[in-house]
């Protein structure tokens, strides 16, 4: 497009004159599509039938490489075809070419088909490796929109032995039907590649080119909601607090009119939509809207008074509790039957959730109610609600019939001496059944939470700088949020101990040869032999399916990672 070309030129001039880098020129990036050749990686729900992980990540990374090249970066691909490249050769390619960063792309798999979501790995916390991993994780969540499993740390060979900042992403689970079907679509792989490209741009502080290769730009829809009973769309006759939905068979967007009556939908995929405006005391209004690429579309809409009193209203989304995705757009359920019963009068009102999963009850009296949600193929659920004047929300999840109901664990980490919260404590929850560990960090209030965990017995370990480690047993129950608060004892310092030797003190569970404190620029030589668990086998120093099994990972062949949130 001529307009886009002019825009890029002007933008580039502005960046150059302000002293910022307009492109990735001068950056050398190693792109590593996982597996290949005789190593297919994780097979999808269709078994040995193509595509498998190796095919999908190669397609993603070829798109990613094209975007980097178009933005003037130098790209080194560890493979550009369906061939097997050993782990040490991948590392050697990156190190021998003195690349600036290393980005490895994988897809996940797990024995439980409900496992889902996105996670990204760095070798260790701190430094540019974690920064790169965080950028990638954030962009993948933004572009691909799966459950956020977070940034994690592990000694994967290709991110441990490279000499530059490195990250390894697990985009989603090919063992999950919905996610395999999603990544099998070209548009999703394009978004995955675009996320990686945007992450690299963010890492270097470069503004990315506008959706390279993705086609049409999104558009915007805006307008005023006004009282059609009283008059025209003029100031003083506009309505605040109206629920506005813009949807078609593929997309749905929600907004609420502001204090000036204005509603706005941004980044809307071009196409034909239905705009629906609702507000208690008014008749629902709908109209057709066509969204144009790269343009603003105005769609001001009048709604007529219905004569109902604006007392209270209830709305919410129905979503699939079984997936672990929570109340997000892609996980909501249309056509669920929602029955609201007044506990005082026994009066019932029934509505169905719309295409976006939204339900709404208007003109309600305040008081105690029960809300029953049901849909074929799901277990019905009833919740109690207290309705107050004005707006009330009651989004509700329902479980698929036969699905495992998950539990959660939360608590507060405090200092035993001062009772003050301990921030950024590392909490590791290890399944006693599978041995899989799951990790989170406490927030500024000392609070930690493990969500969507399978029921069973676990061991919880808490570590924090300046404190002794704490370990205890935990049982997680289906459908229940368990609570375990932990008090940490202050660690004894070398000055306070009986140790008088001048020799370096080795931390607990660490040997003097440990490289866990190395930075991105202090990795061991590539010919150093990694240490494997006792029951592993190696082939010329290359990790196998069992590699890192002690941390619940089968990354380099099966990409089966420890599961949080399924």
DSSP 307-337: S----EEEEEEEEETTSS--S-GGGB-SS-E
In a 3-state reduction of DSSP, which class is residue 62? Answer: helix
Alpha helices in 18-162 (DSSP H): 53-70, 87-96, 127-144, 157-160
Domain ranges of the chain: 2-212, 219-303, 312-398, 407-488
101-108, strands of its sheet edge to edge: 74-77, 28-33, 101-108, 166-173, 118-122, 148-153
Separation in Å, CA 185 to CA 51, 174, 189, 330: 11, 12, 7, 16
| Residue in 53, 119, 139, 170 annotated catalytic | 170
Provide the pLDDT for residue 479. 75
Which run of H or E residues covers position 16? Answer: helix 2-17
Which residues, 6+ apart, have CB-to-CB distance to 217 below 8 Å?
210, 211, 293, 294
219-303 has the same fold as 2-212? no
**Fold (CATH) for 2-212:** Aminopeptidase (3.40.630)
- Mean pLDDT per 10-residue interval, the chain, length 566 residues: 37 41 85 92 76 90 90 93 91 95 95 90 92 95 91 93 96 91 88 94 85 60 90 84 88 84 87 90 90 86 75 85 78 92 92 86 86 90 85 86 76 94 91 78 92 84 93 87 93 51 34 36 35 33 32 38 35
Q: How many angstroms separate the CA atoms of 58 and 35, rounded?
A: 9
For residues 548 and 542, what is the distance between their CA atoms, to the nearest angstrom? Answer: 12
Burial of residue 205, with CB atoms counted within 10 A of its CB: 0-12 exposed, 13-18 middle, 19 or more buried: exposed
Contact 383, 301 (CB under 8 A): no
Phi, psi of 160, rounded to the nearest 5 degrees = -85, -40
Q: What is the pLDDT of residue 323?
A: 76
Q: What is the largest CA-CA distance in the chain?
A: 88
| Residue 170 bears catalytic tag | yes
- Confidence (pLDDT) at 311: 65
- Give the whole-angstrom CA distance, residue 266 versus residue 209: 19
Contact 274, 247 (CB under 8 A): yes
Six-digit token string for 74: 């130098």
Between the alpha carbon of residue 179 and those of residues 130, 182, 265, 512, the distances in Å are 26, 5, 27, 43
Long-range contacts of 545-551 (CB under 8 A, 24+ apart): 547/157, 548/154, 548/155, 548/156, 549/435, 550/435, 551/154, 551/437
User: How many Cβ atoms sit within 10 Å of the Cβ of residue 455?
Assistant: 15
DSSP code, position 427: E
Helix (H) or strand (E) holding 371: strand 367-374
Tell me, which fold does domain 407-488 have in CATH?
A: Immunoglobulin-like (2.60.40)
- Determine the pLDDT at residue 33: 96
Residue among 218, 224, 225 at smallest CA distance from 293: 218
Q: For domain 312-398, which architecture applies?
A: Sandwich (2.60)
Nearest 5°: the CA angle 303, 279, 291 is 65
Question: Given this model, what pLDDT does residue 274 score?
Answer: 93
Residue 540 backbone phi and psi in degrees, to 5: 60, 35
State the pTM of this model: 0.41
In CATH, the architecture of 219-303 is Sandwich (2.60)
């Amino acid at each position: 497009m001529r307009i886009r070309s002019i825009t890029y030129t002007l933008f580039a001039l502005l960046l150059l004159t302000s002293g910022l880098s307009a492109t990735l020129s001068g950056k050398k990036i190693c792109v590593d599509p996982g597996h290949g050749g005789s190593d297919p990686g994780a097979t999808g729900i269709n078994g040995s039938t193509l595509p498998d992980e190796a095919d999908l990540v190669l397609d993603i990374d070829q798109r990613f490489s094209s975007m980097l090249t178009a933005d003037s970066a130098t790209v080194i691909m560890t493979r550009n075809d369906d061939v097997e490249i050993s782990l040490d050769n991948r590392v050697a390619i990156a190190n021998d070419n003195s690349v600036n960063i290393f980005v490895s792309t994988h897809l996940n798999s797990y024995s439980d088909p409900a496992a889902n979501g996105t996670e990204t790995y760095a070798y260790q916390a701190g430094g540019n490796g974690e920064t790169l991993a965080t950028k990638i994780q954030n962009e993948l969540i933004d572009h691909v929109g799966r459950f956020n499993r977070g940034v994690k740390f592990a000694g994967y060979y290709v991110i441990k032995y490279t000499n530059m900042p490195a990250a390894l992403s697990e985009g989603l689970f090919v063992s999950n039907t919905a996610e395999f079907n999603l990544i099998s679509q070209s548009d999703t792989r394009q978004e995955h590649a675009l996320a990686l490209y945007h992450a690299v741009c963010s890492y270097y502080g470069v503004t990315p080119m506008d959706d390279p290769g993705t086609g049409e730009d999104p558009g915007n829809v805006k307008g005023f909601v006004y009282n059609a009973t009283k008059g025209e769309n003029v100031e003083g006759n506009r309505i605040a607090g109206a629920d506005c939905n813009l949807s078609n068979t593929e997309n749905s967007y929600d907004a609420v009119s502001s204090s000036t009556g204005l509603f706005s939908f941004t980044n809307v995929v071009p196409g034909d939509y239905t705009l629906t405006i609702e507000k208690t005391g008014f008749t629902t209004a709908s109209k057709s809207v066509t969204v144009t690429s790269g343009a603003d579309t105005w769609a001001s809409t009048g709604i007529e008074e219905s004569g109902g009193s604006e007392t209270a209203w209830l709305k919410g989304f129905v979503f699939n509790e079984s997936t672990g995705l929570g109340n997000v757009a892609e996980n909501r359920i249309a056509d669920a039957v929602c029955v609201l019963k007044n506990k005082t009068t026994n009066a019932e009102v029934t509505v169905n959730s719309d295409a976006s999963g939204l339900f709404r009850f208007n003109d309600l009296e305040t008081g105690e109610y029960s809300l029953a949600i049901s849909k074929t193929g799901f277990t019905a659920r009833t919740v109690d609600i207290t309705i107050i004047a004005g707006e009330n929300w009651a989004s509700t999840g329902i479980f698929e019939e036969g699905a495992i109901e998950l539990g959660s664990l939360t608590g507060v980490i405090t200092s035993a001496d001062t009772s003050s919260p301990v921030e950024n404590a590392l909490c590791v929850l290890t399944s006693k059944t599978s041995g899989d560990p799951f990790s989170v960090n406490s927030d500024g209030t000392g609070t930690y939470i493990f969500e969507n965990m399978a029921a069973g017995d676990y061991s919880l370990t808490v570590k924090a700088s300046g404190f002794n480690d704490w370990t205890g047993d935990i049982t997680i129950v289906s459908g229940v949020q368990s609570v375990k608060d932990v008090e940490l004892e202050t660690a004894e310092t070398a000055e306070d101990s009986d140790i008088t030797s001048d020799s370096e003190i080795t931390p607990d569970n660490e040997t003097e040869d440990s490289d866990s404190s190395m930075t991105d620029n202090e990795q061991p030589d590539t010919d150093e032999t990694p240490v494997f668990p006792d029951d592993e086998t190696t082939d010329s120093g290359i990790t196998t399916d069992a590699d890192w099994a002690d941390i619940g990972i089968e990354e380099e062949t099966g990409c089966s990672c420890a599961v949080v949130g399924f």
